[in-house]
Structure 1
Amino acid sequence: MAEHNELGKEGEEEAARYLTGQGYHILHRNWRRGRNELDIVAAKDNQLIFVEVKTRRNEAYGHPEDAVTNRKIRTLVSLADAYINKFRLDLPVRFDIITVVGNEPPFHIEHIEEAFLPPIW
């Protein structure tokens, strides 16, 4: 597996551990629809949270959350809609970003709640 894939996988593991430690219930990880995926789907306080995880070794090329472009946001919202329809859920929804930065543990983790709102199409 490519090194960047390993780093991403490790970052998602760290993010899931972090969320669990904060009282979130992980519903799905790497939920796929076609070629796209939701990194983490979680629930807390009767709310459904879709979490995009961005992992970097360092911030030499900018902040990891800056990689969540408008195109990526549209993809995530579309996936979230498909997820909600598939599982017939009726809960308030939130979109978060978790950034994981570092070469090895302990990583620097930042949780950005309500990182973006779904765009109006």
Structure 2
Amino acid sequence: MAEHNDNGRLAEQLAADWLVSKGYELLDTNYRHGHAELDLVMKFNGLLIFIEVKFRSGTGFGFAEEFVDSTKKKLLVKAADHYIYEKDWHKDIRFDIVGVYRDRNGTINFRHFEDAFY
């Protein structure tokens, strides 16, 4: 597997662990529908939350939220619609982005963008 895939999977695990420590409940990881993949599906305060995780080694090329374009958003919404139907969910939902950043010293930091789009 390519290094960027390994970094992405590690970032997803780190983000999931970080969110669980904040009280989120992890329901699914890497849920696929067609060409779309939901990195994390979590529940928090009665909301079903679909989370796109982006890994960056620094911010020189921009922040995580800048790398979720309109095409990606449409794919995420399509996969979320299928997930909602499959699980028969009838309550509110939210789409979040979590940026996982590793600085020069290897320190991991997170930026959480709640209700990032829809």
Please report how far the alpha carbon of residue 35 of structure 1 lies from its aligned counterpart in structure 2 after TM superposition: 2.8
Q: For the Cα contact (< 8 Å) 1:50–1:80, is it kept in 2? A: yes
Report how far residue 63 of structure 1 moved: 1.2
Q: How does 1:42-121 map to 2 (within 5 A)?
A: 42-102=42-102, 106-116=107-117, 118=118
1:5-28 CA distances to partner (integer Å, 9 max, x unpaired)? Answer: 011011101100111001000000
Contact 2:36/2:78 (<8 A) preserved? no
Structure 2-normalised TM-score? 0.93
The CA RMSD over aligned residues, in Å, is: 1.3
**Which runs of no fewer than 5 residues in structure 1 stay unpaired?**
none
CA–CA separation in structure 2 for the residues paired with 1:22 and 1:95: 17
SS of residue matched to 1:115: coil
The AA in structure 2 aligned to 1:28 is D
Q: Tell me how far apart the structure 2 counterparts of residues 83 and 33 of structure 1 sit (CA, whole Å).
A: 8
**Identity percentage of aligned residues:** 39
* Deviation, structure 1 residue 105: 5.1
Partner Cα separation in structure 1 for residue 9 and residue 68 of structure 2: 17
* Partners of 1:7 and 1:56 within 8 A in 2: no
Spell out, residue by residue over 1:36-84, the C-alpha distance to the aligned partner (whole angstroms, 9 max, x if none): 2100000011110000000011112111210000111111111110000
Q: 2:97·2:116 contact (CA, 8 Å) conserved in 1?
A: yes
- Stretches of structure 2 that go unaligned for 5 or more consecutive residues are none
Runs in 1 of length 4+ with deviation above 4 angstroms? none
The aligned length equals 117
The equivalent residue for 2:33 is 33
